[in-house]
Amino acid sequence: MSINQQKKRLYEFGPFILDTAERLLLREGQPVDLKPKVFDLLVLMVENSNHLLEKEWLLQSLWPDSFVEESNLNVNVSALRKALGETPTDPQYIETVPKRGYRWVAQVVEKSGENPAESEKVTLLIETLSVESAQVASTIDEAKEVAALDRGKPSRAVSRRALGAAVALLIALAAGSYFLLSSRAKVASPGAIHTVAVLPFRTSTSEDADNALGLGMADALITRLARLRRINVRPTSAVLKYSNSTDDSISIGGQLKVDAILEGLIQKSDKKIRITAKLFRTEDGEMLWSGTFDDFFTNIFAVQDSISEKMTEALALRLTRDEERLLTKRYTENTEAYQLYLLGKYYERDPVLEASNKALSFYQAAIDKDPDFALAHVGLAGAYLMLGEFQANRREMQEKSKEEISKALGLDPNLGEAYMALGLLKKSASFDWSGAEEAYNRANELSPNNPDIIEARATLLMIRGRADEAIREMDEALRFAPNDTSLLLTSAGILRFARRYDQAIEQVRKSMEIDPNSINAHIRLALIYLAMSRAAEAMAEVKRAEALGTDFSNLYIVGYTNARLGNRAEAERLVEDRLKNTARQRGVNYFWTALIYHTLGKSDLAFKYLEKAYEEKESMILNIKVDPLCDDLRSDARFQSLLRRMGLE
């Protein structure tokens, strides 16, 4: 029997009464707010009072079938102590047994099954009835007196009116008493489930292949659920950081601001696989559904189908026939190809050269196993585009990406992911703004409620100078995934382009609170400070980014910031020596080179490199219509000519 399904028991200790059935802790009659796991911990301790509870046993009892570190238990014990009003140095209730576990030391009295909250209501009701019944008696006595005194009028009618009022009052009291007695002393029934998060499934090893499978299971379920219009599922990018988190699922659900959360555990043995999945309501920690699936790995797709179907049943979603078909749609039946595809997705997470090369090789291997695997073609298209950002052969990579997108759409003309990739390609490779917007709109039709698609559409609108629309789109994307750091930083970028600097800084700060070690967050903040002519603060942020790790763009931003600070010699050294040496390995960023030279007063060189950025279709040049860092260039006829050729005028 799970902790959430215990029989009705009442325990009294100190000023507290614990009602296990109602999941209620009262302190001198007032409810104490406890998180679900903390409440479960309290129940375990009270029901096993005066016994040593080993840490391992507590971990297994509180988080069955989950990999949770001891620190998670320590956090919950600390929270329970705080709620009870004790400290580790003054243990009135919980004794710590070093290196072993904990013992409940307070005296506990088990009471009858009477609900303390109901008892308080009955007492209150009796008191209320006593007072108000006295009022009824007074009303009846008053009626008799009026009837006796007013002998010139029909006393029977007066008495009837007075007695009628008394009877009405008695009926109201009876109704009130029925309402009080039939009410339950607990929070109102939780509402319907509208938002869901699927966490990366945990695995029994730390091997990349198993981690890829855990992430892939989540991604597959997210992709399926995202096709349903009745539910909002957090994107993979929003749950990615929880791959190795020690937080319990309910806590993560609160961080992600979702109504329900799915966690899973994958265990492999030779060719067999066991997957355990559990769906919890975030509000109260109640388990809505759980299931264990034992099968051969070759039947992984059937397991995914089963989990998807059981989830929708638990969420009480009524699906149309088309939605039922989409929920179990498969893009390959080849499990080897699928494993290779998952590895490609796994390495795709890291936007660095080595990871991009690995992602490309795994996607290609998946296609070699199954040439009709449309999603693998989309993955390969994205890998080519990413590699183009690192290497000098950007145009070649864009052409290869175009070929893969065409193959994917030829295999499945209704693949939303392919249309999203097509929109990115049209935007970056040919400046086809209308074509890109059309592709993004089609992607949104096929994959509704996907914040990544909404984000892509927002950036396109901003590029074209439609700031208000872009900001509304980003607000919509963040409504679906409010704590997604990637979306927050994109929002900050759009707000910077719109010259709403204070709001942009606020979005970056939110992102930093969630992920303090984000290199990109410090770079985004540096760019905002540069747009605000606060170069010294920008340099401080770049240095913080460098301390966290190396990023190719940092070199250029350092050079540009030095130029803005008047450090000409340092800026020239960076742009002419360090950057060109790096360029032999990774390609030149012509856009940043142009900005540095322009700031140094070398306008002809600046426009030479700006033309190269245009010819190479660099990603940074897409924003020249709206980027504040380009403001000093706008009065030059060469800049206006460039805007016209890009279709941005």
SS3 letters for 131-183?
HHHHHHHHHHHHHHHHHHHCCCCCHHHHHHHHHHHHHHHHHHHHHHHHHHHHC
Residue 134 CB contacts under 8 Å (≥ 6 apart), including other chains: none
Return the beta strands (E) in 238-384 as ranges: 260-269, 272-281, 287-296
pLDDT of residue 351: 67
Task: Give the CA count within 13 Å in the CB-facing half-sphere of 538.
Answer: 22
Domain CATH number, residue 383: 1.25.40.10
pLDDT of residue 150: 44
One domain, residues 155 and 28? no
In a domain, 612, yes or no: no
- Give the lowest-confidence range in 4-18, 154-168, 347-361, 392-406: 154-168
Boundary of a domain, candidates 330, 358, 392? 330
Q: How far apart are CA 456 and CA 486, in angstroms?
A: 12
One domain, residues 213 and 326? yes
Q: With a cut of 50, say whether residue 137 has pLDDT above it.
A: no
Give me the mean pLDDT over the 106-126 stretch. Answer: 55
In a domain, 48, yes or no: yes
Neighbours of 326 (CB within 10 A): 20
DSSP β-bridge partners for residue 31: 26
- Give the lowest-confidence range in 159-168, 203-212, 398-407: 159-168
Residue 417 identity (one-letter amino acid): E
Boundary of a domain, candidates 154, 182, 210? 182
Query: For the segment 92-112, what is each residue's pLDDT rounded down to a tens digit?
Result: 889 888 878 888 888 888 765
Q: Select, from the ranges 130-144, 244-258, 625-639, the one with the highest average predicted confidence (pLDDT).
A: 625-639
Phi/psi zone of residue 457: left (φ > 0), alpha (ψ -120 to 50 degrees), beta?
A: alpha
One domain, residues 201 and 321? yes
Q: With a cut of 80, say whether residue 276 has pLDDT above it.
A: yes
In a domain, 516, yes or no: no
Query: How would you label 436-449 residue by residue, b for 16+ Cβ within 10 Å and e otherwise?
Result: bbebbebbbebbbb
Q: How far apart are CA 544 and CA 533, in angstroms?
A: 19
Task: Kindly list the strands in the beta sheet with 10-13, ordered across the sheet, starting from the edge strand earlier in the chain.
Answer: 30-31, 24-27, 16-19, 10-13, 109-111
One domain, residues 351 and 322? no
pLDDT of residue 578: 57
Give me the mean pLDDT over the 211-227 stretch. Answer: 84
Q: How far apart are CA 247 and CA 261, in angstroms?
A: 13
Q: How many domains does the chain have?
A: 4
One domain, residues 324 and 340? no
Percent of the chain with pLDDT over 90: 32
Domain CATH number, residue 209: 3.40.50.10070
One domain, residues 203 and 230? yes
pLDDT of residue 287: 87
Q: With a cut of 60, say whether residue 141 has pLDDT above it.
A: no
Query: For the segment 286-312, what is each residue's pLDDT rounded down to a tens digit?
Result: 888 888 888 777 778 888 888 888 888
What is the torsional sign of CA 520, 523, 529, 533? negative
CA nearest to 103, candidates 17, 42, 38, 45: 45
Query: For the segment 24-55, what is each residue's pLDDT rounded down to a tens digit?
Result: 898 887 888 888 888 989 999 988 888 888 88
Q: With a cut of 90, say whether residue 474 has pLDDT above it.
A: yes
pLDDT of residue 580: 63
Indicate the helix (H) or strand (E) that contains 345. Answer: helix 335-348
pLDDT of residue 54: 87
pLDDT of residue 4: 42
Name the token pair of 626: 């709206």
Confidence of residue 203 (pLDDT cuts 50, 70, 90): confident
Query: How would you label 39-49 residue by residue, b for 16+ Cβ within 10 Å and e otherwise?
Result: bbbbbbbbbbb
One domain, residues 309 and 202? yes
In a domain, 630, yes or no: no
Residue 179 identity (one-letter amino acid): F
Which residues span the domain enclosing 379? 332-445
Between residues 589 and 418, the one the model is more confident about: 418
pLDDT of residue 188: 35
Indicate the helix (H) or strand (E) that contains 54. Answer: strand 52-54
One domain, residues 199 and 326? yes
pLDDT of residue 8: 55
Q: With a cut of 90, say whether residue 581 has pLDDT above it.
A: no
Q: Select, from the ranges 169-178, 281-290, 316-325, the one with the highest average predicted confidence (pLDDT).
A: 281-290
Residue 90 identity (one-letter amino acid): D
Residue 6 CB contacts under 8 Å (≥ 6 apart), including other chains: 20, 21, 43
Q: With a cut of 60, say whether residue 159 has pLDDT above it.
A: no
427 close to 443: Cβ distance less than 8 angstroms:
no
Between residues 526 and 176, the one the model is more confident about: 526
pLDDT of residue 433: 96
Neighbours of 390 (CB within 10 A): 19
462 close to 427: Cβ distance less than 8 angstroms:
no
Query: For the segment 411-436, what is each residue's pLDDT rounded down to a tens digit?
Result: 999 898 999 999 999 998 899 999 99
- Give the lowest-confidence range in 158-167, 254-263, 328-337: 158-167
Q: How far apart are CA 52 and CA 54, in angstroms?
A: 6
Give me the mean pLDDT over the 562-568 stretch. Answer: 92
One domain, residues 292 and 365? no
Between residues 351 and 578, the one the model is more confident about: 351
Query: For the segment 615-631, what is each residue's pLDDT rounded down to a tens digit?
Result: 888 888 999 999 999 99
CA nearest to 595, candidates 507, 499, 527, 534: 527
In a domain, 172, yes or no: yes
Name the token pair of 133: 């019944």
Between residues 271 and 633, the one the model is more confident about: 633
What letter does residue 200 receive in the DSSP assignment? P
Between residues 340 and 185, the one the model is more confident about: 340
Domain CATH number, residue 57: 1.10.10.10
What letter does residue 620 receive in the DSSP assignment? G
Q: With a cut of 60, say whether residue 22 has pLDDT above it.
A: yes
pLDDT of residue 299: 78
Confidence of residue 523 (pLDDT cuts 50, 70, 90): very high
Confidence of residue 118 (pLDDT cuts 50, 70, 90): very low
Q: How far apart are CA 578 and CA 562, in angstroms?
A: 14
For the chain, give the mean pLDDT.
Answer: 81
Between residues 75 and 424, the one the model is more confident about: 424
One domain, residues 263 and 294? yes
pTM score of the predicted model: 0.65
Between residues 16 and 491, the one the model is more confident about: 491
Between residues 173 and 292, the one the model is more confident about: 292
Query: What is the Cα gyration radius of the chain?
Result: 32
Q: With a cut of 80, say whether residue 475 has pLDDT above it.
A: yes
